[in-house]
């Protein structure tokens, strides 16, 4: 069996008075089967008047639906007082359902003919790994194997306790930087060994000459003492 076709009706009508509404009554059961009590009601607003529009109804495809427009109290309390438009019945020929398409059938009060146009209906896309809530927002689900996420649990625990997981690390870093700023700058004192290693060649030569001179004096004194 073919899928039904979604059809919404639009009527241009300024002949209503306060408390009235425009109704679509026709041959299809969804339009009341020519019984005004079961007709499809249209609505308007201060911004859209005199354009009236109905909710979408599902009609059988590959058929011809006849209908007429009527005006009566919006609450349907006085169907016997309904005012029917003059002229012949309007005919709506429905083709096969092409999916994700809604038909908008438009007409004007007192003018013959029906204009149909197709409206593409947005189809929700299912996203793997996401669940849609009532507001249409998505929430990412956890691991599919049901295993707990230790990092996520730890993070949630910290958040529940009002703790900042990164605060201790940041405090420690700040204390180290403060200690470095307060510490006096110290210049290392070179040891005698380092001084000797850093002495220039001229100083070393002078020290060797002095030692040789001292040695010569000692030898002279020893020779004099021996004579």
Q: Say if residues 216 and 208 touch (Cβ distance below 8 Å).
A: no
Q: Does residue 27 register a pLDDT over 80? A: yes
Give pLDDT tens digits for 164-199: 444 444 555 556 666 666 555 554 554 444 444 444
Choice between 28 and 77, residue whose per-residue pLDDT is larger: 28
- Kindly report whether the global pTM for this prediction surpasses the value 0.85: no
| pLDDT at 141 > cutoff 50 | no
Distant-in-sequence, close-in-space partners of 114: CB < 8 Å, separation ≥ 6: 90, 91, 92, 105, 106, 107
How large is the average pLDDT for residues 204-212?
72
């Amino acid at each position: 069996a073919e899928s039904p076709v979604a059809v919404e009706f639009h009527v241009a009508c300024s002949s209503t008075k306060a408390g009235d509404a425009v109704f679509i009554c026709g041959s299809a059961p969804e339009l009341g089967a020519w019984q005004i009590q079961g007709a499809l009601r249209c609505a308007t607003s201060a911004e859209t008047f005199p354009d009236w529009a109905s909710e979408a109804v599902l009609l059988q495809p590959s058929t011809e639906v006849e209908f007429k427009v009527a005006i009566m109290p919006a609450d349907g309390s006085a169907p016997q007082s309904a005012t029917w438009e003059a002229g012949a019945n309007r005919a709506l020929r429905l083709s096969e359902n092409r999916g994700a398409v809604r038909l908008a059938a438009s007409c004007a009060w007192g003018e013959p003919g029906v204009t149909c146009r197709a409206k593409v209906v947005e189809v929700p896309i299912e996203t793997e790994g996401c669940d849609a809530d009532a507001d249409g927002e998505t929430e990412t689900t956890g691991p599919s194997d049901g295993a707990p996420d230790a990092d996520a649990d730890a993070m949630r625990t910290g958040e529940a306790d009002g703790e900042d997981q990164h605060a201790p690390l940041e405090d420690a870093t700040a204390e180290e930087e403060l200690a470095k700023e307060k510490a006096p700058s110290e210049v290392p004192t070179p040891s005698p060994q380092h001084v000797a290693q850093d002495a220039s060649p001229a100083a070393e030569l002078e020290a060797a000459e002095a030692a040789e001179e001292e040695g010569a004096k000692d030898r002279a004194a020893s020779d004099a003492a021996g004579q």
